[in-house]
Each structure stands twice: as C-alpha cells, then as structure tokens.
Amino acid sequence: MIRADSLDELFDLAVALSSQPLPSGRRVAVLTNAGGLGILCADACEAAGLIVEPLSQATKERLRAFLPNTASVANPVDMIASASADDFSRATETLLACAEIDALIVLTINVGIADITAITGSITAAVAGARASGAAPKTVLTCIMDNAAMQQADQRLTDRLPNYAFPEHPARVLGKLVRYAEWRHQPLGLIPEFDDLQPNRARAVCRNALTERGPGWLATSEACEVLAAFGLPTPPGAIAKNADDAARLATAAGYPVAIKLASSKIMHKTEVGGVCLNLEDESAVRAAFVAIRERLALQNQLDAMDGVLVQPMFSGGVEVMIGVTQDPLFGPLIAFGLGGIHVEILNDVCFRVTPISDRDAADMVRSIRGYRLLQGYRGHPPADTAAIEDLLLRVSRLVEELPEIVELDLNPVFALPPGKGCMIVDARIRVDA
C-alpha cells in the first residue's frame, strides 16, 4: 500500500503506477529548460529521499556535444530557455542511456521561443525509442507547464508519461514510488519458531485471573509468570507482604535493591510514590515499605496494595519500551520506542500489526528517531539490537497465543551492550475474556 496524503496525490500516484515501471533505485536526473524549475524539483527530490548527484564525465561530454556553452550539464541539466524539441529529444535519450541514474524527471515551461507541442512529442518519442531499444526501462515523469499546448497535444503523453502541474509533484510521487519499490524487493520476512515457549503455563495464569477477579490487570507475580513462560527476561525478585519480608528478601538478593508497589489496580507506580531505588541496607528497605503504605493510606488506596516487589538494582544500557494494544480493526498492535518515564513526552514509538516477522522486528528497531542511541552515542556503548528484536518477536508470539491479553506494557526494558541481552524491569499485563 502507498499512502496518499491528498486526493490530488492519489491520482498523481495512480497515473504513474499505471504507466511507468517502478524505479530500480533512488538516483534521479532532472532535465529542464528553466533553472528555477530545476532547483524547485531538485530540492523536492532531496526532501523525498531521492539522490540528485552530478552526472558522470562521459554523460556530460555527450550532452556538451549538442547543448550551448551556457547550458549546465550538472544535475539538474539546464538546457536554458532556447532549448528546442530536438535538444529535449537528444538530452532525454542521453540521460536514459546512462548508467548513473534510475529515473528521469523532464520539466519545461513555454517561454515563447520553442514549439511546446513539438517538445512534448519529442520527449514522448525519445522515451518510446529508449524502451524499444531493449534497455532496462527507467521511470520517467514530466512537468509540461503550458495548459493550452497540452490541450492541443494528442494523448500519447498522458497515456505513456505522467504529466504534473508543478515541478515538486513528480519529485514527491517518485519518492513514494522508490520506497514502494524498495519494500517490494525486500526478502520475505520469517516468523520464527521458539522451542522454549510454554503457552499453556501462561494461558493458565490468565484464565485463573479472569475466573477469580474478572477482566483487569494481572498481579505483579502473575505478570512475571506469563513473561517467564515465553522466555522474556526479568530480574530475580519476589513479593513481600510486610516490612520484615521485604528486609529478608532484600538481604537475600544483595544490596542495593529496588522495591516497587505490587498492585493489580494501580498501574503508574511512580505517580503514587510506589518506587524506591538504590536502597543500601535493611533499615532503608523497612523505611521504604512503610513510606509506600503511608502514601497509599493518605490517598485511600491502601486496599490496592498487594505488597512490594523486591529486586536487586538493575541499571545500564538504553531504556526502551515494548507494548501491545488492541485496535478495533486490526487486532493486536505491537509498539516499540524509547522507554522510561519520558516515553509519552518523546512520543518516539512505532507500531506493527501482529504477528510480526524477523524483518518487521528489525525495521521497528531501526525506524525510531532514538535508534542512534542504540547504535552507541558519545561514549555510550551500543545496545544489543539482536536481543531487542528477539524480545519483539516473543511478545508478538505471546499475544498471538493468548488472545486474553488485551494490553501489555514493558517499560522500561534495559537494552544492554551487544551480547548481554535485555532485561524487563517493569511489566503490566491486562486480560479480558
């Protein structure tokens, strides 16, 4: 599918797709008889992700053989206002024959010197001749800026070569055709099989929660059980019901530790002061447990407290998030982006419809603006992108196997340096029948 941003663009794309081969690459040449048109088109090409590079010396020499000295044979090729129909024909043939471009945009405006109808016919004939020669066909789009002449011309141009009203339009169309062609030429993605999955174990947790409490969020221990059944990595931890248990678990885990509110009713723990980090000793753990209880009591939410999750402190790597939501038309959508408390502010998130393939997972990781952080930035080590992709594929499989899961939020996920994997530090899962 190619997304059209307006009704005009819908028809612009349709006429190009119905009459032109898809471009084999992003390199484009611009041919014009007016420098202003060429500059407008070249700028639009760059904005559309196309490559407007200088032509080879051999191509320049072939153009110089028949163009005046005042013409520019760089790219755009500006044949100046005196360009004749024969100049357009020979320049079009020359550019279509060269190996350094994948597409050609021809622009002309009626300056009252040359016969615009003859120019139109010469462009069409040159393109037809190039294709009849057996050479690999190239995408050709035009912008003939003379309505009266176009109305008088025969229909060969509109039948064979799409014509656009302004020089930016063919550039935008070509940019979308290039992206579509690149997508079509990619290898098919694969949905991998995992040998270590235990869907029945996770399904039992979800169904028990639905039977006991009805639709809603899984308890922290239940969410950890579901993730473990699908090989999704979480740090070791346990639920403490009181301060004594919290201190005992913290001592067993090793300091420093983090304690987090465990609740199936309160989702944003930080908003109620339910997260305490870098606790260095037993007294700090006891004080943190009491503080969380007191905050909830002041907010009349003490009954929402199932206890606290005690975990060894975990840090390092890049914080990312993985989520799942339900779309009424497409079903489960999987999301990926930068994580932590800033995810909603940065809004650097991409989505895919599940199930996703290995190619989808790789595209998701590389499509966010924060991908540079995952590559390593200003002394920070790169992240284990292969592990992130594996995580995305496992989450996709999780929601496909368990339709009871209607929402999932893994945030933050610490993406560690290459070879070190990922760690899901916090997880929420909502189920519904």
Q: What is the pLDDT of residues 145-162, one digit of tens each?
A: 876 645 544 443 445 789
Helix (H) or strand (E) holding 84: none
User: How do beta strands 405-415 and 422-424 pair?
Assistant: antiparallel
Q: What is the pLDDT of residue 56?
A: 96
Question: CA-to-CA distance for 128 and 50, rounded, in angstroms?
Answer: 24
218 and 248, same structural domain?
A: no
Amino acid 155: pLDDT: 40
307-312 and 238-240 as β-strands: parallel, antiparallel, unpaired? antiparallel
Domain count of the fold of the chain: 3
User: Quick one: pLDDT at residue 354?
Assistant: 94
Of 381, 256, 271, nearest in space to 314 by CA:
256
Q: What are phi and psi of 296, to 5 degrees?
A: -65, -35
State whether 85 and 116 are in the same domain: yes
Q: Is residue 49 part of a domain?
A: yes
Q: Is the pTM of this model over 0.75?
A: no
Q: Binning pLDDT at 50, 70 and 90, where does residue 187 land?
A: confident
CA–CA distance, 405 with 412 (Å, rounded to integer): 19
- Domain co-membership, 35 together with 146: yes
Q: Which two tokens stand for residue 386?
A: 């292969």
269-298 pLDDT, tens digit per residue, is 877 888 898 899 999 999 999 999 998 988
Pair (176, 245) in one structural domain = no
- Sheet of 77-78, strands arranged across: 77-78, 28-32, 103-109, 139-145
The model's pLDDT over 119-148, given as tens digits with 9 standing for 90+, comes to 988 999 999 998 888 778 899 999 998 766
| pLDDT value at 333 more than 70 | yes
Residues 197 and 343 in one domain: yes
Three-state SS for 307?
A: strand
Residues 11 and 158 in one domain: yes
Q: Are residues 17 and 135 in the same domain?
A: yes
Identify whether residues 262 and 275 lie together within a single domain: yes
Q: Quick check: bond before 23 cis, omega within 30?
A: no
Same domain flag for 29 and 176:
yes
Whether 401 is in a domain gets the answer yes
**Domain containing residue 290:** 236-313
* pLDDT above 90 coverage of the chain, percent: 66
Per the domain annotation, does 1 fall within a domain?
no
Task: Report residue 402 as tokens.
Answer: 């368990």
Cα separation, 92 vs 106, in Å, equals 8
Largest CA distance in the chain: 94
- Kindly state whether residue 2 falls inside one of the protein's structural domains: no
Look at 106 and 234; give whichever has higher pLDDT. 106
